[in-house]
A and B are shown apart, each in its own frame.
Chain A
């Protein structure tokens, strides 16, 4: 790796000061599973890695059934899925946290890093969108909140400005009779990048026969992870069954704007979106009915 500096600030203010001063030449280091490889392979030219794991807010994980979930931006995946209450309350998020890389990657990789890396195929982003996560961002100008579906702006690009960092992700408490799920397709069983992914959430009525709210989000089929509002809206109020699920799936397919690359053709990806949305909705509805 080229010669760089390493800083380990203990406060958000210290970290933001370095990010402000160095601009593009400084990058946060959370789990390092993207950034270390990118710097080593000359895909990012930086002068300093800012290790944010010593900042208490960025490393904290808190769940309160009344208030919801706060995930520090650098909390590694394993802490989320090994937390029994969180795993029970947010199975749709766990679907993604437990499939990033292998065990070694999950020891380090964070949701904040997955999001800030802004890959169209980032696996935790669709479930975060489905679960209405909010990004808490801090910079010299103070604090601001951005819904997660607005965070990524292009491959590798986010709304973060000079001197800003992601501090936390906030998720509302799970609503009664709600369920979520994330599914992706990869050619192997483990350790690969999604050819397509679908994260969905549903909230059912008291009889558990209709949806009163639903969200559908996709990975790897557009320049950024995608919230498909019309697919969610189509599920609301109709009788829950195959016809309704098919309709939501075809709206998601219509919204997908995939490219062809070595992982799959655009046509193949569109086909996968239909299947993944249907299967993910079936699981989310089952979870909502069981919960």
Chain B
């Protein structure tokens, strides 16, 4: 087996070191090495967004990033979104609006939606749908999800 690689990174603001096999994706490292199982494996080929995380502030599919690539980077996952004070407005509006059924797609949608709201706090419905085109949901349908995102935006802008 190839020699493991030592990687130093910051995950949700915390300095983190891990050892990974060169063949492991960042998603596999998060889930199998660091036990951060919030990011999900849906398609494992870049189409569904269930594995979304922020890498140095940019929204990426962690199934399409090698673990070793995280060296020196800042990674933010769904686990870093709620604060000790409570849920993020997106988490609240997803719950209240029943914008999930099985929930597999939810972490990805919330990480992606947060990335959008951070750069565009007052998106139109069209902008929300466009930004979330890389996230798939097989059970809820998109209307409730889009509505939850728009409501979270409205809450935050109040």
Q: Which residues of A contact B133 (CB under 8 A)?
A: 102-103, 189-191
Q: How far is the CB of B39 from chain A (nearest CB, A)?
A: 12
Which residue from chain A places its CB closest to the CB of B51 in the assembled complex?
Answer: A104
Which of B46, B58, B115 neighbours the largest number of chain A CB atoms within 10 Å of its CB? B46
Q: How many residues of B contact A (CB 8 A)?
A: 34
Secondary structure class of chain A's binding surface, majority of residues: loop
Q: How far is the CB of B109 from chain A (nearest CB, A)?
A: 12
Q: Which residues of A contact B115 (CB under 8 A)?
A: 103
Q: Which residues of B contact A239 (CB under 8 A)?
A: none
Q: Which residues of B contact A101 (CB under 8 A)?
A: 46, 134
Q: Assess whether A8 is in contact with B68, with CB atoms less than 8 Å apart.
A: yes
- Interface window among A32-40, A203-211, A217-225, A277-285: A32-40
Q: Assess whether A78 is in contact with B2, with CB atoms less than 8 Å apart.
A: no
Per-residue contact bits, chain A 46-88, to B (CB 8 Å; 1 contact, 0 not): 0001010100000000000000000000000010000000000
Which residue from chain A places its CB closest to the CB of B56 in the assembled complex?
Answer: A107
Q: Assess whether B68 is in contact with A1, with CB atoms less than 8 Å apart.
A: no
Cα–Cα, bound, A5→B23 (Å): 7
For residue A29, CB closer than 8 A to chain B, the reply is yes
Per-residue contact bits, chain B 38-77, to A (CB 8 Å; 1 contact, 0 not): 0000001111010010010011110111101101000000
Total A-B contacts with CB atoms under 8 angstroms apart: 90
For residue A17, CB closer than 8 A to chain B, the reply is no
Which residue from chain A places its CB closest to the CB of B134 in the assembled complex?
Answer: A102
Q: Assess whether A107 is in contact with B22, with CB atoms less than 8 Å apart.
A: no
Per-residue contact bits, chain A 1-23, to B (CB 8 Å; 1 contact, 0 not): 11111101000000000000000
Q: Assess whether A51 is in contact with B69, with CB atoms less than 8 Å apart.
A: yes
Per-residue contact bits, chain B 104-146, to A (CB 8 Å; 1 contact, 0 not): 0000000010011000000000000011011100000000000
Cα–Cα, bound, A232→B22 (Å): 47
Q: Which residues of A contact B63 (CB under 8 A)?
A: 36
Q: How far is the CB of B136 from chain A (nearest CB, A)?
A: 9
For residue B21, CB closer than 8 A to chain A, the reply is yes
Q: Assess whether B45 is in contact with A41, with CB atoms less than 8 Å apart.
A: yes
For residue A157, CB closer than 8 A to chain B, the reply is no
Cα–Cα, bound, A190→B44 (Å): 19
For residue B35, CB closer than 8 A to chain A, the reply is no
For residue A105, CB closer than 8 A to chain B, the reply is yes
Q: Which residues of A contact B55 (CB under 8 A)?
A: 107
Q: Assess whether A6 is in contact with B68, with CB atoms less than 8 Å apart.
A: yes
For residue B5, CB closer than 8 A to chain A, the reply is yes
Q: How far is the CB of B76 from chain A (nearest CB, A)?
A: 13
Q: Which residues of A contact B112 (CB under 8 A)?
A: 103-104
B49 touches which of A41, A51, A102, A108 (Cβ 8 Å): A102
Q: How far is the CB of B23 from chain A (nearest CB, A)?
A: 4
Q: How far is the CB of B131 from chain A (nearest CB, A)?
A: 6
Q: Assess whether B22 is in contact with A4, with CB atoms less than 8 Å apart.
A: yes
Cα–Cα, bound, A189→B61 (Å): 20
Cα–Cα, bound, A189→B133 (Å): 9
Q: Assess whether A1 is in contact with B46, with CB atoms less than 8 Å apart.
A: no
Which residue from chain A places its CB closest to the CB of B47 in the assembled complex?
Answer: A191
Interface contacts beyond A36-B65, A103-B134, A105-B61: sample of 18 additional A-B pairs, CB < 8 Å, sorted by A = A1-B24, A3-B22, A4-B22, A5-B2, A6-B22, A29-B69, A32-B64, A32-B65, A32-B69, A51-B68, A102-B49, A102-B134, A103-B115, A103-B116, A104-B59, A104-B60, A105-B64, A107-B59
17 intermolecular pairs with C-beta atoms under 8 Å apart: A3-B21, A3-B23, A4-B2, A4-B22, A5-B2, A6-B5, A8-B68, A36-B25, A37-B46, A37-B64, A51-B66, A103-B112, A107-B55, A108-B64, A190-B130, A190-B134, A191-B134
List of 6 A-B pairs having minimum Cβ-Cβ separation, nearest first: A102-B134, A190-B133, A6-B22, A107-B58, A1-B23, A6-B68
Residues of B within 8 A of A (CB): 1-2, 5, 21-25, 44-47, 49, 52, 55, 58-61, 63-66, 68-69, 71, 112, 115-116, 130-131, 133-135
